[in-house]
Amino acid sequence: MYRYPVTSRILLAIDCIIFGFDGKDIKLLLVKRNLEPEMGKWSLMGGFLREDEDLEVGAGRIIFYLTGLKNIYVEQLETFGKVNRDPAERTVSVVFFALIQIDEHDSEAVRNHNASWISLDQRPELIFDHNEMVGRAIEHLRYKAALHPIGFELLPELFTIPQLQKLYEAIYNTPLDRRNFSRKLLSTGLLIDTGSKNSNSTTKKATLYKLDTIRYKEKFHAFWNFMPDSMKPVKI
Amino acid sequence: MYRYPVTSRILLAIDCIIFGFDGKDIKLLLVKRNLEPEMGKWSLMGGFLREDEDLEVGAGRIIFYLTGLKNIYVEQLETFGKVNRDPAERTVSVVFFALIQIDEHDSEAVRNHNASWISLDQRPELIFDHNEMVGRAIEHLRYKAALHPIGFELLPELFTIPQLQKLYEAIYNTPLDRRNFSRKLLSTGLLIDTGSKNSNSTTKKATLYKLDTIRYKEKFHAFWNFMPDSMKPVKI
DNA sequence: GCAAAAGTGTTACTTGTACACCCATGC
DNA sequence: GCATGGGTGTACAAGTAACACTTTTGC
């Protein structure tokens, strides 16, 4: 078979930014790196692309390996390829962005990989250009969550409106008006009232909703505007 | 120096989607491929990433080579990496998205590369997954132009409001109301009235504006909403 | 003077924002 | 019975959408 007459072939990495939400803070799944260079330092979970796998398959493999989860929300974020981004050798990294329901992950797998869930505002310095990757991912989360109903991916199947509000408040780091939030949300027609109530509350129990998955697909691209003006992304 | 113990290193390509606007239609700069496989077929302009260059530098090099232009609007779009996307050998392609002022390109360079400006609705079948890349780029153009003032990148330095309107009508393939368009546009405060008039018109001459580049940078992320509801992106 | 395109203003409607009171629950 | 959080309605402001007439120009 024909092969291109080009000498330089490059190592292709995949790094995954995995967001979760614990009901209070947005968290990031970070690992202590187990290979040289920079062994022992904090980094994103990553790996090398295999010869026989598509990019998304590689990302799925890495996420499954770390969390035990399949069929979660994953999208490609951006590819980082500065010449010296990795001191060992030229490596180009395709970064993926994943949202998971934090209580469904396999905590043993996470522990075995030296990984931890860390709040965004407490995240340590990361290796290479991983800090930049995380910055872009947070920006993307804010941007996307303002326009599309992706917040649900971070919550359990049954959730309450106050839970969802806390999620958006965490994403934009700003308080939102309860009444307006609730009204706007219900007006999307994406929520189904399950009739039951949240039992683990010490005060008035909130109504549990689930996502109307059919309408969800139809309305995925209907633009929202939950993003407060002051929080609109600032950098390209 | 340490080198990762991984055997497979992969060929990294860069493909560029270059949009222009001729006052009537959105056009794409396409080339007749001059290497095997698929020599002679239409494709995006591309090349291979060099060992000593960053991704954006590579994209800039390729665009400059084809158009003679530097300092244009370029952003990374997405990376395509299906295992068999290139029949010659495994190649992962980072796709860039560029907007240029069509009358400023070096038409001799374009001719020398067997390239042509082709209207979106007349574009031929492209090789590999390039059709998919173009689809994503059109979607991205619509998405982005609805939220950020990127349309200016496709127009000459001095432009009229009717010109800009025709551009948006071409992007969304839908008519817009002149009065509302003009009012909304002027209310952004991004336009400076140059005082002069468009001379090459056979009827009433329109006012020439230029972009307020300082406010442009400040307001780049102020969200617009020029996108008509019916035109909101439909696929992920 | 007429055809073709540019410029401009008002009104109705829709959507967003601000804000306060009552209800359910556990202690 | 009280503190905590959940649920709801209304009035005002802002933004969007619809629509018609006048002006400039080249022929």
Q: Is A151 helix (H, G, I), strand (E, B) or coil?
A: helix
Per-residue exposure over B180-203, b if at least 16 CB sit within 10 Å of its own CB, e if not: ebeeebeeeebbeeeeeeeeeeee
- The whole-number pLDDT of residue B226 equals 54
Region A148-162 average pLDDT = 94
- The whole-number pLDDT of residue B228 equals 52
CA–C1' span, B180 to D17, in Å?
A: 8
| Domains identified in chain B and CATH numbers | 11-130 (3.90.79.10), 151-231 (1.10.10.10)
Residues (111-140, chain B) with CB within 7 Å of strand C atoms: none
CA–C1' span, B181 to C8, in Å?
A: 12
- The whole-number pLDDT of residue A146 equals 84
Q: Is the pLDDT of residue A109 over 50?
A: yes
Q: Is A78 helix (H, G, I), strand (E, B) or coil?
A: strand
Residue B88: pLDDT band with limits 50, 70, 90 = very high
Residue B235: pLDDT band with limits 50, 70, 90 = very low
Residue B1: pLDDT band with limits 50, 70, 90 = low
Distance CA B88, CA A5 (A): 11
Distance CA A229, CA A232 (A): 6
- The whole-number pLDDT of residue B233 equals 37
- In A55-84, the residues whose Cβ lies within 8 Å of chain B are 55, 75-76, 78-83
Least confident of A126-140, A190-204, B5-19: A190-204
Joined together, the tokens standing for residue A114 give: 């030296």
Distance CA B181, CA B36 (A): 48
Partners of A220 on chain B (C-beta within 8 Å) are: 236
Interface with chain A: mutation pick from B33, B34, B92, highest number of A CBs within 10 Å: B92
Region B191-200 average pLDDT = 87
Residue B194: pLDDT band with limits 50, 70, 90 = very high
CA–C1' span, A77 to D9, in Å?
A: 42
* Residue B88 to chain A, least CA–CA distance (Å): 5
Distance CA A134, CA A129 (A): 9
Straight-line distance from the first to the last Cα atom of chain B, in angstroms, rounded to the nearest whole number:
42
Rounded to the nearest 5 percent, the helix, strand and coil shares of chain A are 35, 25, 40
Round the average pLDDT of chain A to a whole number and report it.
90
Joined together, the tokens standing for residue B141 give: 């153009």
> Tens of pLDDT along B113-172?
999 999 999 999 999 999 999 999 999 998 888 888 999 999 999 999 999 999 999 998
Helices (H), B68-173: 107-112, 130-147, 161-172
Assess whether B90 (CB) lies less than 7 A from strand C: no
- The whole-number pLDDT of residue B5 equals 82
- The whole-number pLDDT of residue B225 equals 55
- The whole-number pLDDT of residue A232 equals 41
* Residue A200 to chain B, least CA–CA distance (Å): 36
Residue A222: pLDDT band with limits 50, 70, 90 = low
Round the average pLDDT of chain B to a whole number and report it.
90
Residue with tokens 């009827």: B203
Region A64-85 average pLDDT = 97
Q: Is the pLDDT of residue A231 over 50?
A: no
B78 contact partners, CB below 8 Å, separation of at least 6: A76, B95, B133, B136
Residue A8: pLDDT band with limits 50, 70, 90 = confident
Distance CA A177, CA A149 (A): 18
Q: Is B63 helix (H, G, I), strand (E, B) or coil?
A: helix
> Tens of pLDDT along A165-211?
999 999 988 889 999 999 999 998 999 999 888 877 788 999 999 99
Region B170-197 average pLDDT = 91
Chain C, protein-covered positions (CB within 7 A): 3-10, 16-20, 23-27
Top-confidence residue, B35 or A45: A45
Distance CA A165, CA A176 (A): 7
- The whole-number pLDDT of residue B236 equals 21
Q: Are A57 and A141 a contacting pair, CB within 8 Å? A: no
- The whole-number pLDDT of residue A223 equals 47
